């Protein structure tokens, strides 16, 4: 038995066809038959039934299929792992980003990262901060950029940059043209908030509560699930909201959204690079961390940035 035979068997079992399995494995159909015959001879059982619906795994074939998939996945992981340690010539990296980092910070870092490491391939998964931390713990992504820590067990954080969050209004809102409003005036307007789990949303509600305004004091017009949705609603003067200045830079420059100060209220938060506690970063993840620190702080950090608890 060898990996090629298992690869061919899985291809036939998953496609339900010897001919399609041959195409998937890039070999001839007669060679496919030889590989399947060799496996059946080695185990002493029939693995595939040829039926009118195609080639179907027997009960014994189902057992082999389950274990063969595990072995082939393991073989692919070995190849990916060794590629990462050969110097990023053909490395892949799965990263996560909460809303603002995923839409703004990480894309801003990509040109520098890919110019420095042209062989690096990235997969970016997005979600709210809690979702990204869960993916890190489950090892679905190696590192992530998030706007909240949540005290997540199994994760370690280093700060990337600080983000200012400001009250914003649209061109047709009655507050357009004002430079500052009083905190109590927030009770007199309709407000748009982000969904639970959003780093921006949680930061805003915590800051308002600390300043003396609870959620019950506000008239919430809508809870929206993305920063883009909130921006569009504010630009249409559906209500006011609090948004990351990083995310509204272009809209502010075009005059579509106007930031307004709130007396006695300043809201900011850190964006963090999160990774699994006690796990050494791959060279690809270390390269990504170094570039994110450069973009976030404007200072050069060497590859292999140590990730330590705050």
Return the CATH fold of 3-84: Arc Repressor Mutant, subunit A (1.10.10)
The pLDDT value recorded for residue 303 is 35
pLDDT tens, residue by residue, 126-171: 988 888 999 999 999 999 999 887 765 789 999 998 889 999 999 9
Q: Which CATH number fits domain 162-269: 3.20.20.140, 3.40.190.290, 3.30.565.10, 3.40.605.10?
A: 3.40.190.290
> What's the whole-number mean pLDDT along residues 206-213?
92
Give the mean pLDDT of the chain: 87
The pLDDT value recorded for residue 152 is 58
The residue extents of the domains of the chain are 3-84, 92-158+271-297, 162-269
pLDDT tens, residue by residue, 48-64: 998 888 899 999 999 99
Asked whether 29 and 19 are in contact (CB, 8 A), the reply is yes
Domains 92-158+271-297 and 162-269 are alike in CATH topology? yes
Residue 305 has pLDDT above 50, yes or no: no
Write the DSSP assignment of 196-254 as a string of letters.
TT-HHHHHHHHHHHHHT--GGGSEEEEEESSHHHHHHHHHTTS-BEEEETTTTHHHHHH
Q: How many CA atoms lie within 13 A of 176 on its CB side?
A: 14
Residue 265 has pLDDT above 80, yes or no: yes
The pLDDT value recorded for residue 304 is 36
Helices of type H across the chain: 3-15, 18-25, 29-43, 59-84, 99-100, 106-116, 129-137, 199-211, 227-235, 249-254, 283-297
The pLDDT value recorded for residue 299 is 33
150: its two tokens: 């949540």
> What's the whole-number mean pLDDT along residues 194-213?
86
Residue 87 has pLDDT above 80, yes or no: no
| Confidence band for 75, pLDDT divided at 50, 70 and 90 | confident
89: its two tokens: 């010539």
Largest CA distance in the chain: 83
> 5-9, 97-101, 118-122, 198-202: which has the highest mean pLDDT?
5-9
Closest CA to 58 of 27, 36, 26, 32: 36
Per cent of the chain over pLDDT 70 is 93
Per cent of the chain over pLDDT 90 is 58
Buried b (16+ CB within 10 A) or exposed e, 261-298: ebeebebebbbbbbbbbeeebbbbbbbbbbbbbbbbee
β-strand 257-262 against 155-170: which pairing, if any? antiparallel
Architecture of domain 92-158+271-297: 3-Layer(aba) Sandwich (3.40)
């Amino acid at each position: 038995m060898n990996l090629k035979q298992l690869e061919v068997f899985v291809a036939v079992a998953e496609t339900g066809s010897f001919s399609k399995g041959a195409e998937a494995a890039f070999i001839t159909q007669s060679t496919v038959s030889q590989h399947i015959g060799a496996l059946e001879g080695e185990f002493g059982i029939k693995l595939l039934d040829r039926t009118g619906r195609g080639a179907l795994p027997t009960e014994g074939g189902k057992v082999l299929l389950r274990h063969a998939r595990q072995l082939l996945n393991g073989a692919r992981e070995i190849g990916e792992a060794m590629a990462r340690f050969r110097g990023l010539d053909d490395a892949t990296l799965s990263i996560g980003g909460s809303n603002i980092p995923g839409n703004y910070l990480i894309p801003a870092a990509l040109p520098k990262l890919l110019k420095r490491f042209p062989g690096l391939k990235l997969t970016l998964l997005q979600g709210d901060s809690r979702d990204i931390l869960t993916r890190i713990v489950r090892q679905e992504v190696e590192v992530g950029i998030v706007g909240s820590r949540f005290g997540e067990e199994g994760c370690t954080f280093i700060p990337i940059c600080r983000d200012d969050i400001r009250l914003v209004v649209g061109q047709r809102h009655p507050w357009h043209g004002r430079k500052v409003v009083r905190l109590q005036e927030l009770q007199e307007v309709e407000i748009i908030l982000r969904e639970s789990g959003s780093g921006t949303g949680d930061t805003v509600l915590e800051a308002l509560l600390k300043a003396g305004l609870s959620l019950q004091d506000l008239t919430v017009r809508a809870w929206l699930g993305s920063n883009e949705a909130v921006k569009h609603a504010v630009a249409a003067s559906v209500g006011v909201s609090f948004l990351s200045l990083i995310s509204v830079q272009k809209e502010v420059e075009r005059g579509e959204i106007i930031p307004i100060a709130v007396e006695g209220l300043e809201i900011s938060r850190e964006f963090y690079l999160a990774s699994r506690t006690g796990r050494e970063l791959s060279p690809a993840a270390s390269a990504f961390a170094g570039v994110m620190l450069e973009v976030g702080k404007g200072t050069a950090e060497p590859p292999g940035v140590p990730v330590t608890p705050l």
